[in-house]
Amino acid sequence: MKISRRAVSAGGLGLLAATALSPAHALDGPIADLVDGSEDFWLAVEAYVYGYPLVTMEMTRRVITNVPAVEGTKGPMGQIIKLREYPNASFRDVTAPNADTLYTTAFVDVGKEPWVLSIPAMDDRYYLFPMLDGWTNVFQVPGQRTTGGKAQQYAITGPGWQGTLPAGVTQYASPTDIVWILGRIYCTGTPEDYKAVHALQDQCKLVPLSSYGKDWQPPPGVVDPSIDMKTAVRDQVNRMDAVSYFTLLSQLLKTNPPSEADAPILEKLARIGIVPGQDFDKSKLDAAFVKRIPEVGFGRIMLHFKFSDGDIKDINGWGYTTRTGLYGTDYLQRALIAAIGLGANRPQDAVYPTSLKQPDGLFSRAYDGSNKYVLTFPKGRTPPVRGFWSITMYDDKYFFVANPINRYSISPRQDLKKNPDGSIDIHIQNESPGADKEANWLPAPKGKFILMMRLYWPDENHPSILDGSWVIPPVKRLG
């Protein structure tokens, strides 16, 4: 197991890291002594890492769709979930919520027949509707960047599907039966703009191909009482023993086939009973490994989080990655993103620099609302994007922070004021910096906090965050 000795910032993908890093120590002590030199054990760990995205996606699908009707962030298979407003500081359903785009999402199973997604004309409004396969690869991204603002219709087809599509409907071939549509539509959050975006959401349609062009009403969802709707998905996945995990993985492989590039690893996995298209043969797995494989497997994933070979960049206290959405055979990176950033976009669509601490010489210090900070963009050096950019304030648990002006993020839509030299200061502090600076104020809590920047549709020309030619400025503590 080759691990780089260069420690990097985990900030850019820190949404779930605080509770995830402890299993990284699973390679210490008696476990390491027990399995040292066991080739089959490490092969099983490799299988765990390989299958983690597919198993996580399936468990996510079960929880999100296990309801009789659309309500809040959940909805049955094949039904569009429409979030109608941004959450406030009391929201605790999902970590790292955003106040820039309204989600319009759905899970579909394209194994029996294709599903047709209709997107209305968005004109100049920014939007994107990434489609993820069961392995978490973003296989298509209709949106302002790729397909423009006109009305459009797409038939999402499953593996091996052959048939004829209606005129004007474009085929998007999914490599797997499971498809997660994660639509986002930009909204300023004003009552007028909420109304406009709600109208666009209501014009988004999702129907099976056999019902396209007909007056189709989705049936009620079927609720499975055995599905745990309270425990976090990642905790449900991580507590499975190896037999349960590989049994589910083998079932999923039947309808979510691996890519041709996976042939070398699949040849090895057959030795421990994992063969695509077949049930898991648990007789080929050493019973002594059953409980230890998930612990060590997840630890291996999080070691990639903590020690990487460039997957995570650390620039002026901001951590981020541009290796998301499409993974090829980089199974560790794919598993890592599934664990701490499930649903991540391609970097051409969005990059999420995150800052946990303020750099201070050789050291760094956690942000604290007892201090005052400033982030200065030099003249003409605000984030180069063709979509939008924003900076969101979170408390140390990645939730919004209550404040007197109900501002959870800051962006150009606040009509930011420039300094005489053309630079822009973002004031990050608990109390108002004064009426003359309040347009540029990002309110902080009194205690610890975290900052996340959202860069949608980063400019690919120079300068760009994608090639490192645009550098994020550091947050500086005042006084």
Q: Assess whether 90 and 156 both reside in one domain.
A: yes
Last residue of a domain, one of 279, 306, 333: 306
Task: Mean pLDDT check: name the lowest of 33-47, 134-148, 183-197, 380-394.
Answer: 33-47
Same domain, 170 and 70: yes
Final residue belonging to a domain, choices 211, 243, 270: 211
pLDDT (tens digit per residue) in 369-411: 999 999 999 999 999 999 999 999 999 999 999 999 999 999 9
Residues 390 and 472 in one domain: yes
- Pair (70, 191) in one structural domain: yes
Specify the pLDDT at position 9: 31
Q: Tell me if 340 is assigned to some domain.
A: no
Can you give the CATH number for the domain in which 373 is found? 2.60.120.1600
Q: Is the residue at 46 inside a domain?
A: yes
pLDDT at 12 over 60: no
Same domain, yes or no: 23 and 136: no
Specify whether 236 is located in the same domain as 109.
no
Per residue in 217-241, pLDDT tens? Answer: 999 999 999 999 999 899 999 999 9
- Where in the sequence is the domain holding 42, given as residue range(s)? 16-59+231-306
* pLDDT(198) > 70: yes
Q: Which helix (H) or strand (E) holds 337?
A: helix 331-340
pLDDT digits (tens, 9 = 90+) for 144-170: 999 999 999 999 999 999 999 999 999
60-75 tens-digit pLDDT: 999 999 999 999 999 9
Rg (CA), the chain: 23
- The pLDDT assigned to 453 comes to 97
- pLDDT at residue 450, as a whole number: 96
What pLDDT, in 10s, does the model give residues 306-365?
A: 776 557 888 999 999 999 999 999 999 999 999 988 999 999 999 999 999 988 767 789
In a domain, 9, yes or no: no
By the 10 Å C-beta count (0-12 exposed, 13-18 middle, 19+ buried), 255 is classed as middle
What is the per-residue DSSP string for 45-98?
A: HHHHHHHHHHHHHHHHHHHHH-SSS-BTTB--TT--EE--S---TT--SSSS--
Distance (Å) of CA 415 to CA 126, 261, 391, 418, 426: 19, 49, 14, 9, 12
CA separation (Å) from 255 to 134, 251, 327, 459?
9, 8, 20, 37
Count of CA atoms in the C-beta half-sphere (13 A) of 256: 22
Residue 334 within any structural domain of the chain:
no
> Which of 180, 102, 111 lies closest to 140, judged by CA?
180
Close Cβ partners of 158 (under 8 Å, ≥ 6 residues apart): 110, 111, 112, 114, 174, 176, 177
Whether 252 and 284 map to the same domain: the answer is yes
The separation between CA 116 and the C-alpha centre of its own chain, rounded to angstroms, equals: 24
pLDDT value for 288: 87
Among the candidates 211, 246, 269, a domain finishes at 211
As a whole number of angstroms, the distance between CA 432 and CA 255 comes to 55
Domain containing residue 107: CATH number: 2.60.40.1610
Q: Does residue 175 sit in the same domain as residue 250? A: no
**Which tokens in the block code for residue 235?**
């905790």
pLDDT for 105-143, tens place per residue?
Answer: 999 999 999 999 999 999 999 999 999 999 999 999 999
Instruction: Based on the fold, state whether residues 46 and 71 are members of the same structural domain.
Output: no
Assess if residue 186 is contained within a domain.
yes
Q: Into how many domains does the chain fold?
A: 3
Strand, helix or coil for residue 438: helix
Q: What is the pLDDT of residues 277-302, one digit of tens each?
A: 999 999 999 888 898 999 999 999 98
CA distance 477 to 473: 13
The reply to whether 81 and 200 lie within a common domain is yes
As given in the structure block, the two tokens for residue 274 are 């994992």
Within a domain: 37: yes
Same domain, 73 and 190: yes
Same domain as 72, residue 42: no
Any domain includes 2: no
Could you tell me if residue 218 is inside a domain? no
CB atoms within 10 A of CB 319: 21
Contact 31, 300 (CB under 8 A): no
- Token match 């409980």: residue? 291
- How far is CA 14 from its chain centroid? 11
